[in-house]
Amino acid sequence: MDGETRILKSVCRSCHGGCGALLHVRDGRLVKIEGDRDSPLSHGRLCPIGTVTVDLVNHPDRLKHPLRRVGPRGAGEWQRITWNQALDEIAERLLEIRSQHGPEAIALGTGTGRHHIRWVSRFGHALGTPNWCEPGFAQCFHPRVNTCLLTFGDFPVCDYTGDTPPACMLFWGHNPIHSGPDGETRFAVREALEHNPKLIVVDPRRTELAARADVWLQVRPGADDALALAMLHVVIGEQLYDERFVRECTHGFDALADAVAACTPEWAAPITWVPAEKIRAAARLFGRTRPGMLEWGCAIEHTPKCIQTVRAVSMLPVLTGNVDVPGGWVFGGRGIGRFPSLIENLTLEVSAKRLGADRFKLLGGEGADLPAAHIPTLLQAMREGKPYPVKAFLVFGNNTLSTYANAKLVRESLMKLDYMVCADLFMTPTAELADIVLPAAAWPELDQIVGLPTVAANVVLAQQKAVQVGECKPDEEIFVELARRMKLAVGTESVKEVLDAQLASGGLGLDFAALAREGFKEAPLAYRRYERSGFRTPTGKIELYSTRLEQLGYPPVPFYEEPPESPLSAPDVARDFPLVLTTGGRIPFYFNSEHRQLANLRRAYRDPRAEIHPDTAARFGIANGDWMRIETRRGGIRQRARVTDGIDPRVINVEHGWWFPDEPGPEYGIWKANANVLTDNAPPYDPAMGTYQLRALLCRVAKAEASG
């Protein structure tokens, strides 16, 4: 009946937080969104980004039909075409490139993990190429995932859905008050804080959490490994560890103790800029207050020593016995089966061609959970044809120019391509470089399942198609249609078939239709499973000394190493660029490079802001609110100065993800405030993960002109 409102249970995916949502639909149009009070993850709340979903879906600037480039690449000249024309052309060009240059000459790129990310690699594997990438795979989350799989045999998450609140929370390089990754949402953190746990915060900036912490460790960006090793030194030296758990459940304690014997707080203090007494206070607090929970973020994965940094930080909950216990770190309920990535479609010979796999085994080789290509190596293959040419790039849900390091080199690489396809919600500076642009569906316009927290899948939620906007099509359906047009041997099943198979292998007894009716289902969560079955590692224990890393040719115990560009490792650079740059802090109104089209969010947060200490600002004649120029060896950008004593006088913090959809295309102001103009994708890289340097770089600042 016309005018009647339907309400569908779904899950918000405007970031990848997973808040329960109720979608109100009238006359085929999304008219309202509200939080689902039944959600075990968010309990009826939505963040500012989620509350404007109606504006996102109904935005007049949405891409609503396919476009073909008619002028030079990047000139912004387009013509409307049909889906049949677009898909037929893409299929024809990809088959042609595959025939002439091999499947590895086709690469796929995607953005941070929402509904479509696993489908990107699935289509690549069906097509026969090993080369897919995502900017976070070497820089965010997957260093932790791959490292923990080697260390623990599983990936631990924080126990927010159990009945025992943490007595101590250690937040390391993570500010979940302003972000909600992977189902460990900002709301779960706020609820845990209501129980008044002891708080330890490791962050160069005085965030809201740092301001209320019992101990705030204001670490120098890039020195997290030294800080973690010093805390381990205290925990071991003062016997604050859980002796029974360490003896019975870990492998290599003596080797770790030897490795950190010289890493005293006094050794770490000049490296980390954290006083020795504060390092001891934090280690003692975490060692003596149980259960303890570690909340860690991608800040520790932004320098080329991330694997060993992750290893060192992860050992704090291990030594203190806070693993697989209520209120600590727990392992997942696995409510859905593993996604069928179709990687088995690649022969060993083809997998060996994955760019970077020979060097970075935890990213693209035998140590990776889901192997991906190394982005700097991929870009070099686009530009120079080395080690072989990459001719085509398919981008799904990623504004590559704003999210890959060294953005100007990225553009140079993309301009060398023979063929480029981009699927997105809006026209972006990256989409403007494509040959074909496809209108992607937003999350209320598609069916999907999500298991959260990511990897653990303790809660399985249904994301339901509520509306159809223009000719927008889900990324997943685009892949299926291309696979069928190209007559690929695999990857042609319908989306619903794949979802139902995943649910069936998860053991919850639901298909997608049943899950959609219920909205979500919780998988049973058990504690201390190691008492029955040990850990899924070669030794059956948590490996403080990693036998798998040793087998792969990497150091088995963590150690300290400076980032390649820092005041200590590059003093000659520091003479011209005397300040330490940090990037990547979350903005509660945006998700990475997304949502700057939405008027209500832009009104709340109009301009990019860079944090600078009052003493530093005065030295360079910069007042609060002034436009400030920040430069590194790669280039310079402008952001408004936020003068605050919550940052060290030697450190500058810039915001990432900035471009300006309200400015003229085809560039949309991409070079004005883009933090990735400043960042570095040159070697050296993390030897296991291929990670490049996104923070702890060296920079200089000056007052900028008010315009320009």
Q: How far apart are CA 651 and CA 567, in angstroms?
A: 11
Task: Dump pLDDT digits (tens) for 152-200.
Answer: 999 999 998 889 999 999 999 999 888 877 777 688 899 999 999 999 9
Task: Dump pLDDT digits (tens) for 19-37.
Answer: 999 999 999 999 999 999 9
Residue type, 212: R
Q: What are the DSSP calls for 326-343, one per residue?
A: TTSEE-----SPPP---G
Q: What is the pLDDT of residue 273?
A: 98
Opening angle at CA 372, ends 368 and 373, nearest 5: 130
Question: Among 74-83, 136-145, 564-573, where is mean pLDDT lowest?
Answer: 136-145
Contacts of 548 (CB under 8 A, 6+ apart): 150, 367, 537, 538
Pairing state between β 329-330 and 392-396? unpaired
Q: Measure Cα distances from 390 to 74, 362, 365 in Å.
A: 19, 22, 19
What does residue 79 show for φ and ψ, rounded to 5 degrees? -130, 145
Any idea which residue has 């689902």 for tokens?
Answer: 36
Q: How far apart are CA 219 and CA 284, in angstroms?
A: 18
Cα dihedral 486/492/494/500 (nearest 10): -160
Tokens of 487: 């007559």
How many percent of the chain have pLDDT more than 90? 92
Q: Measure Cα distances from 603 to 111, 425, 463, 600, 704 in Å.
A: 25, 21, 29, 5, 23
Q: How far apart are CA 284 and CA 417, in angstroms?
A: 55
Tokens of 88: 């037929």
Q: What is the pLDDT of residue 34?
A: 97
Q: What is the pLDDT of residue 707?
A: 61
Tokens of 384: 């120079």
Question: Among 108-122, 277-291, 434-448, 682-696, where is mean pLDDT lowest?
Answer: 108-122
Task: Dump pLDDT digits (tens) for 671-696.
Answer: 999 999 999 999 999 999 999 999 99
Task: Dump pLDDT digits (tens) for 386-417.
Answer: 999 999 999 999 999 999 999 999 999 999 99
pLDDT at residue 69 greater than cutoff 90: yes
Q: What are the DSSP calls for 442-459, one per residue?
A: PGGGS-EEEEESTTT-SE
Tokens of 571: 């003093």
Sorted by where each starts, the structural domains of the chain and their CATH numbers stand as 5-57 (2.20.25.90), 69-136+335-522 (3.40.50.740), 156-330 (3.40.228.10), 571-703 (2.40.40.20)
What mean pLDDT, rounded, does the chain reach? 96
Burial 401-437 (b: 16+ CB within 10 A, else e): bbbbbbbebbbebbebbbbbbbbbbbbbbbbbbbbbb
Q: What is the pLDDT of residue 2?
A: 66
Q: What is the CA radius of gyration of the chain?
A: 24
Contacts of 529 (CB under 8 A, 6+ apart): 324, 331
Q: How far apart are CA 191 and CA 177, in angstroms?
A: 11
User: Which residue in 133, 155, 159 sits closest to 144, CA to CA?
Assistant: 155
Mean pLDDT (whole number) for 623-633: 98
Q: How far apart are CA 590 and CA 598, in angstroms?
A: 10
In this structure, the chain runs to a length of 708
Task: Dump pLDDT digits (tens) for 632-669.
Answer: 999 999 999 999 999 999 999 999 999 999 999 999 99
Q: How far apart are CA 657 and CA 402, in angstroms?
A: 6
Q: What is the pLDDT of residue 305?
A: 94
Helices (H), 176-217: 186-193, 208-211
Q: How far apart are CA 285 and CA 214, in angstroms?
A: 9
**HSE (CB half, 13 Å, CA atoms) of 12?**
33
Contact 10, 23 (CB under 8 A): yes
pTM of the model as a whole: 0.97
Residue type, 354: R
pLDDT at residue 599 greater than cutoff 90: yes
Opening angle at CA 109, ends 103 and 111, nearest 5: 160
Mean pLDDT (whole number) for 693-701: 97
Q: How far apart are CA 498 and CA 501, in angstroms?
A: 5
- pLDDT band with cut points at 50, 70 and 90 for residue 334: confident
Q: How far apart are CA 74 and CA 175, in angstroms?
A: 37
Q: What is the pLDDT of residue 708?
A: 55
User: Which residue in 104, 78, 23 sits closest to 465, CA to CA?
Assistant: 23
Query: Sign (positive/negative) of CA torsion 587, 588, 589, 594?
Result: positive
Tokens of 572: 């000659």
